[in-house]
A and B are shown apart, each in its own frame.
Chain A
């Protein structure tokens, strides 16, 4: 036998250069660099007594002391807390009620409402804020109209409460999204069981349906709270005129209001915000883990039964329709209408003020056109690069023998805890900290990098569940027939992942289109995007072109979302 074994030719295939590990390491390092790049400078600057590019800077905790001593800090924190709580409560109440109405009752027009309630998710807060300003602001169309009838100022949007209501309504779609998914996945047997023991529909709703939505509600509460804390647009637009400061606007003014920004103070404040958000995310993780017992098993085949509203059916319809008209249609319609007028007011007949001047202006000023083209370029190219990176991260983290694959996943979802605002500041600092990166300054590539980093978790969240659905035997069989990891990934896993990658691309595209907070610190003449230009010109009072710019953004979004859904059959948000 020994002789036989020796004479038998080896069938084992010779080892080539191990490209698999090389690729895996490259992907991991890229991700790590991308995520660490903005955080490290913030951490570093926070404990330096001078700007971090200053050679004489030394370590100190002075920044934090100064932050506490800031004159209006108490008021700022109080405003922020009140704003965030109000926003969250309003968003969640509207989100839960609308999700139950659309997802679980026989209300008429469910498909229409389902679309309308979700649509604001595709739009930037800045656009929504301008919509509110145009229609419900002190000199807004609806405000003036109501004042004309009742004779007094009906409401004041320029208060923290006003901001909270606007922001709450702007965030309601997110709460709606989580809850509607939960209503779809509910196990109908649980409610049927309650019905058989004689529970009334109302009792079933409060005792069974709502508690089962608890994980979605908790998830939404924390998401919305975090978003409210880091929101810049609405506080800036509505708080600016009366100098109501929230934490983000305080930071914004610290950077842009001073001739020489206090870098240390800004970094310290950012760090505080970062820690708060990380804390909330950890809390969310904890709460979600304990909520496993609410996960209903099986029962996907049959949809839960709808509650019959009886004679309340049309009442509910009326209320929901009024909400959709006032909170979505009036705002977006008004904004678009505003872009075609010189001045929008109920006191003047519409035909006298109609004009194309605003659009003419967009065409004639290079900065407007540049913002539009830059935005489209970043969304198109950036989303493609982002999707490639996310696909690679997902397969390394989930489908490889890479040693640090678990850690890679943590790094990839870490940016969820980094507010866009801070990512922007961090990268801004990083530019001064790493001079070789100087060429990136003032280019849209810098914005792309920042956006990709920021939305890494969003894209990962779209790809990794799809990967989990893909049977492991499919790649294991490719390995046994002789394909190495990279070949298996390329020829088997990625092609099977195509639908999820399309969704990821669409999601990134939309987010990149509407993102502006991250760009606020990073853009420069030449690398403006629609959001930053809108913000700039709105501050100057050029409301006409700004509304035209917002309309263009809405148009791009509508065209893209429709095309992606209809032509490519892409699923965006479920």
Chain B
């Protein structure tokens, strides 16, 4: 039905290039997440797609409709784009009841009273808020307001759904439930969706694809598994999950694998997609949950001794701050070892090697 295409979008505020020439396409019915740290330009991108802010350059189209084209000066104002935007603040109109909030967009479209009632019923049913139709927004909890805000955008069946950190005002538990529920709803309605968040767990759980943004640019655009398992650069590896970075120098490079001499410690074998030459300084990213603690005396590649510096109990598991030579990193385990000296094993397929000059 409608595919969103964003080409070369740029937006500057004074000297700040908030959005710096980004391209992406969201297929019909797809769920794309813009993920990135605070200030990376997510909201600015979303505002440009919504028509709330006029970008400096680029082109935005939805299906056959051109929303914005810097080349010929086209700019369709927000109210004529037929899109839905859920605000982080929900922005429910406090002087209208839930029903009236939903009715307003329908009235604007001159929909007959009877059809209006039916559509409101439908939309409220979808978000399971039928019982609250006659309440005012201030008498709703955060989670309920968030659902009403969503219903208010779905009720007029927009061609594109935009969500700007819609779950960030909910507490951790509710956020998790809302996440599942939102994903379910989106696959049911099958509306093309762009979702903005800085919460990586949310992005991984919800999205068909994720665009990781950094400094106004898209650093990587891929499905959640690829983003998690094969981050394109050290920034993404660090931002998604909490990676350890082990520094060292490449000693041997074969096609597909490299051998790295970790600073002041043992050698490490890791896969590498990049062609690297011996002598290159690298950082190897390894996620804490991938590191295994092994019995002392276990032999083999990628096994080396470490000293425990700090132990933290986190309920389901413990984290250990360990040190091997110059490198300090984190290891997760169920049971805390009682000695300070242990041996760890990093699977040969686990590490991701980034040249030290890579972005960061």
B337, CB-defined interface residue at 8 Å: no
B85, CB-defined interface residue at 8 Å: yes
Within 8 A of A (CB), among B48-64: 50-52, 62-64
B316, CB-defined interface residue at 8 Å: no
Known interface pairs A482-B109, A483-B108. Does A474 touch B93 (Cβ–Cβ under 8 Å)?
Answer: yes
Q: Which of B74-82, B205-213, B248-256, B267-275 contacts A (4 or more CB under 8 A)?
A: B74-82
CB-defined contacts of A149 to chain B, threshold 8 Å: none
Known interface pairs A11-B2, A11-B62, A492-B93. Does A481 touch B156 (Cβ–Cβ under 8 Å)?
Answer: yes
Q: Which of A2-10, A92-100, A203-211, A336-344 contacts B (4 or more CB under 8 A)?
A: A2-10
Within 8 A of B (CB), among A463-480: 471, 473-474, 476-480
Complex formed: what's the CA distance from A39 to B116 in Å?
53
Complex formed: what's the CA distance from A547 to B190 in Å?
77
Assess the B95–A484 pair: CB atoms within 8 A: no
Contact of B89 among A13, A14, A473, A496 (CB under 8 A): A473
B239, CB-defined interface residue at 8 Å: no
Q: Identify the interface centre among A476, A477, A487, A492: most chain B CB within 10 Å of its CB.
A: A477
CB-defined contacts of A6 to chain B, threshold 8 Å: 64
A566, CB-defined interface residue at 8 Å: no
B104, CB-defined interface residue at 8 Å: yes
Contact of A482 among B50, B87, B108 (CB under 8 A): B108
B145, CB-defined interface residue at 8 Å: no
CB-defined contacts of A1 to chain B, threshold 8 Å: 3
CB-defined contacts of B93 to chain A, threshold 8 Å: 474, 477-478, 492, 496
B296, CB-defined interface residue at 8 Å: no
Assess the A481–B2 pair: CB atoms within 8 A: no
B309, CB-defined interface residue at 8 Å: no
B128, CB-defined interface residue at 8 Å: no
Assess the A480–B78 pair: CB atoms within 8 A: yes
Complex formed: what's the CA distance from A200 to B262 in Å?
64
Within 8 A of B (CB), among A1-34: 1, 4-6, 8-15
Known interface pairs A12-B82, A481-B84. Does A476 touch B91 (Cβ–Cβ under 8 Å)?
Answer: yes
Contact of A13 among B82, B85, B94 (CB under 8 A): B82
Assess the A8–B89 pair: CB atoms within 8 A: no
Closest residue to A12 on the B side, CB-wise? B65
Contact of A496 among B81, B84, B95, B105 (CB under 8 A): B95
Assess the B52–A476 pair: CB atoms within 8 A: yes
Complex formed: what's the CA distance from A244 to B88 in Å?
66
Assess the B87–A477 pair: CB atoms within 8 A: yes
Complex formed: what's the CA distance from A12 to B60 in Å?
13
Assess the B104–A473 pair: CB atoms within 8 A: no
B119, CB-defined interface residue at 8 Å: no
Closest residue to B100 on the A side, CB-wise? A491
CB-defined contacts of A574 to chain B, threshold 8 Å: none
Complex formed: what's the CA distance from A492 to B79 in Å?
14
CB-defined contacts of B3 to chain A, threshold 8 Å: 1, 4-5
Give A497 Cβ to nearest chain B Cβ, in Å: 10
Assess the A13–B91 pair: CB atoms within 8 A: no
Assess the A8–B108 pair: CB atoms within 8 A: no
Assess the B104–A10 pair: CB atoms within 8 A: no
A495, CB-defined interface residue at 8 Å: yes
Contact of B65 among A10, A474, A480, A487 (CB under 8 A): A10
B159, CB-defined interface residue at 8 Å: yes
Assess the A473–B87 pair: CB atoms within 8 A: yes
Known interface pairs A11-B65, A473-B87, A492-B93. Does A479 touch B77 (Cβ–Cβ under 8 Å)?
Answer: yes
Seen from chain A, the residues whose Cβ lies within 8 Å of a Cβ on chain B are 1, 4-6, 8-15, 471, 473-474, 476-484, 487, 491-492, 495-496
Could you name 25 residue pairs across A and B whose Cβ atoms are closer than 8 Å?
A: A4-B3, A8-B64, A11-B62, A11-B63, A12-B65, A12-B76, A473-B89, A474-B93, A476-B78, A477-B91, A478-B93, A478-B104, A479-B52, A480-B50, A480-B52, A480-B79, A480-B81, A480-B85, A481-B104, A482-B105, A483-B79, A483-B104, A491-B104, A496-B93, A496-B94
